[in-house]
Structure 1
């Protein structure tokens, strides 16, 4: 008996049309661009809800980055209309920022509940959801939600 090469036993998938591939990569790039924005506004919302303020130092600590990195991102978020910075009072979300934080939190919770329903342990589900939430379509999220409801015995 000869030794089998695992790489030859894998079936290759046919190359998709160029336009479809371009659209797929465009969606991924857009998701990457928005990922940081969503992480920041969601964290700011959480800090405001927990302690009534979102300070640059707290954001840096929780994200594990330097304060100048946070300062640069906060300027970008302010420029794009997601946050308002008030001297000596911290950072606040605009109505658009609040809406984005809410939507991001809902996506995260849906993905996390889906992973838990699959049997993933709680810590891994939380960490994995943090990355996955930014890269799933609305259609996929709806199916995740339907799966979770069915697994939990709820009506769809």
Structure 2
């Protein structure tokens, strides 16, 4: 039987409740922001690729229905991240471009780090898509330092 205040899976005692809950709060916040960041980053990618970011293209690339995209675009517009023009595509605001740059930077760092560990390009790209939203600035910096060595 595990000693009192010890985890069954490890030897350290459980952290203080406030400290312990911090990790769960951070994860929930990352999950909430992940979808927004994915949309904004994809919109930036479509625009930079020389195309307009149209609702139909966003839906196809994310593998979701157009009404789902329409709902998210309304949210992004309300949050000041995108602007929409009738009969045209979606455009990023300054705040949206900033978010897209930060998200892309995190993704590229995580993907490069995974590649430096020997992970295949395809797996690194896919895994980085999830990890990028959950990794802290401290961990990203550690990834960069490890790759520079």
Instruction: Give me the TM-score of the superposition, normalised by structure 2.
Output: 0.92
Give a deviation string over 1:104-124, Cα, whole Å, max 9, x none: 000000000000001111110
Partner in structure 2 of residue 147 of structure 1: 146
* SS of residue paired to 2:46: helix
Distance 1:147 1:72 in 2: 40
Give a deviation string over 1:57-80, Cα, whole Å, max 9, x none: 000000000000000000000000
Distance 1:130 1:83 in 2: 21
Distance 2:124 2:100 in 1: 20
When Rg is computed on C-alpha atoms for both structures, the one with the higher figure is: 1
Partner in structure 1 of residue 4 of structure 2: none
Partner in structure 2 of residue 114 of structure 1: 113
* SS of residue paired to 2:22: helix
Shift of 1:23: 1.4
Counting matched residue pairs gives 142
RMSD: 1.3
Distance 1:88 1:73 in 2: 18
* SS of residue paired to 1:19: helix
Partner in structure 1 of residue 5 of structure 2: none
Instruction: Give me the TM-score of the superposition, normalised by structure 1.
Output: 0.88
Distance 1:42 1:78 in 2: 15
Partner in structure 2 of residue 89 of structure 1: 88
Q: What residue ranges of structure 2 are gaps of 5+ in the alignment?
A: 1-7
Q: What residue ranges of structure 1 are gaps of 5+ in the alignment?
A: 1-8, 151-156
Shift of 1:12: 4.8
